[in-house]
């Protein structure tokens, strides 16, 4: 009998499978928002940063560009390979990337000035453990910074995907009304309370708008299908007729937004939560 796959192994496999496409299609967009986070921090030579759930380097790469010493941790080995390749191509000698579990870091206490995570710990099955680890590895007086999505309807590239899927194949949509993990800290009060419960003080939650340009419906689908395992799983369940309808609905939505042009700029409501250890 084959043993069931552990949740951590399932996550690793799912994100590893997406890593190549994620790096090609999403990394330029995610680094742009990572720079938004880095611009709010006091980084530079002599500062130590850990990026947890680093993916392909959205925050780690712009942080390393400041000269800070950056350690990037992600569960998926292929994400770490892509991050390392980008860092090497830019000559970012102060960035190191390692495969690791963000809920059980192989890192000593009080090692970093800043612990940061963009859509990393917020999608962990055990959010509390992820935040606890961020706090543990940050020195007293250091800062923990978490970037996450606002309400799902205000994250247009996700809302568009789900609306088109619902129109083309309503039976394929999940039955639960509960917000998916990436959106569970969308409420600023809940977000702030969660950071305080992790032991942080001087907590703030800043709303930020992330604008993402898409050249066409195919560009949009490249991004949407590689940004998270769920859209690809849903799309794989469509019949050929449904898949055609799905694309047509999306194309129409983008053209409506842009006044008839093939592409459009979509907006995502984001939250940047910060607190001091």
Bridge-partner residues for 149, per DSSP? 270
pLDDT digits (tens, 9 = 90+) for 96-135: 999 999 999 999 999 999 999 999 999 999 999 999 999 9
Which of 4-13, 44-53, 142-151, 219-228 has the weakest average pLDDT? 4-13
Q: Which residue has the higher pLDDT, 231 or 64?
A: 64
**CA distances to 87, 164, 240 from 217, in Å:** 30, 12, 17
Q: Which has more pLDDT, 92 or 17?
A: 92
Rounded (10°) CA dihedral 231, 152, 162, 232: 0
Q: Supply the pLDDT for residue 176.
A: 64
What is the C-alpha to C-alpha distance for residues 210 and 156, in angstroms, rounded to an integer? 10
Higher-scoring residue by pLDDT: 98, 173: 98
Q: Residues 20, 25, 27, 33: what is their CA dihedral angle, to the nearest 10 degrees? A: -150
Average pLDDT estimate for 51-60:
95
pLDDT above 80 for 274: yes
**Is the confidence at residue 44, as pLDDT, over 90?**
yes
Domain-wise residue ranges, the chain: 7-151+177-211+269-276
Q: Work out whether strand 112-118 and strand 138-149 pair parallel, antiparallel, or are unpaired.
A: parallel
Residue 274: enclosing H or E segment and its boundaries?
Answer: strand 264-276
Residues 191, 188: Cα–Cα separation, whole Å: 5
Average pLDDT, the chain: 90
Mean pLDDT score, 255-270? 94
Residue 209, Ramachandran bin (φ over 0: left; ψ between -120 and 50: alpha; else beta)? beta
Task: Output the 3-class SS for 217-252.
Answer: HHHHHHHHHHCCHHHHHHHHCCCHHHHHHHHHHHHH
Tally of CA atoms within 13 A in the half-sphere of 238 that contains its CB? 21
- Architecture of domain 7-151+177-211+269-276 in this structure: 3-Layer(aba) Sandwich (3.40)
Q: Which helix (H) or strand (E) holds 203?
A: strand 201-214
The four Cα atoms 242, 231, 13, 184 give a dihedral, to 10 degrees, of -150
Give the whole-angstrom CA distance, residue 148 versus residue 80.
21
> In the prediction, which pLDDT does 4 show?
41
Q: Looking at residues 46-52, what average pLDDT do you find?
A: 98
Query: What's the farthest any 2 CA atoms get from each other in the chain?
Result: 57
Instruction: Report the distance separating Cα 87 and Cα 74, nearest Å.
Output: 15
Q: What is the pLDDT of residues 6-20, one digit of tens each?
A: 567 777 777 777 677
pLDDT attached to residue 5: 45
Mean pLDDT of the region 240-257: 92
């Amino acid at each position: 009998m084959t043993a069931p796959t552990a949740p951590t192994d399932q996550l690793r496999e799912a994100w590893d499978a997406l890593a190549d496409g994620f790096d090609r299609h999403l990394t330029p967009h995610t680094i742009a928002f990572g720079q938004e986070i880095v611009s709010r921090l006091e980084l530079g030579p002599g500062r130590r940063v850990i990026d947890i759930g680093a993916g392909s380097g959205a925050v780690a790469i712009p942080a390393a560009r400041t000269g800070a010493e950056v350690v990037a941790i992600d569960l998926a080995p292929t994400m770490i390979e892509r991050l390392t390749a980008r860092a090497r191509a830019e000559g970012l000698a102060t960035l190191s990337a390692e495969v690791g579990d963000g809920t059980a870091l192989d890192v000593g206490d009080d090692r970093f000035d800043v612990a940061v995570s963009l859509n990393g710990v917020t999608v962990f099955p055990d959010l509390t453990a992820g935040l606890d680890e961020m706090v543990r590895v940050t020195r007293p007086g250091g800062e923990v910074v978490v970037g996450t999505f606002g309400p799902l309807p205000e994250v247009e590239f996700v809302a568009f995907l789900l609306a088109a899927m619902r129109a083309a194949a309503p039976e394929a949509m999940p039955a639960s009304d509960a917000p998916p993990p990436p959106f569970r800290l969308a409420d600023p009060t809940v977000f702030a309370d969660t950071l305080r419960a992790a032991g942080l003080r001087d907590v703030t939650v800043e709303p930020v708008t992330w604008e993402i340009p898409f050249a066409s419906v195919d560009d949009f689908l490249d991004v949407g299908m590689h940004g998270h395992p769920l859209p690809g799983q849903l799309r794989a369940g469509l019949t050929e007729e449904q898949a055609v309808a799905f694309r047509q609905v999306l194309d129409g939505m983008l053209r409506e937004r842009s006044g008839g042009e093939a592409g459009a700029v979509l907006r995502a409501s984001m939250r940047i939560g910060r607190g001091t250890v």
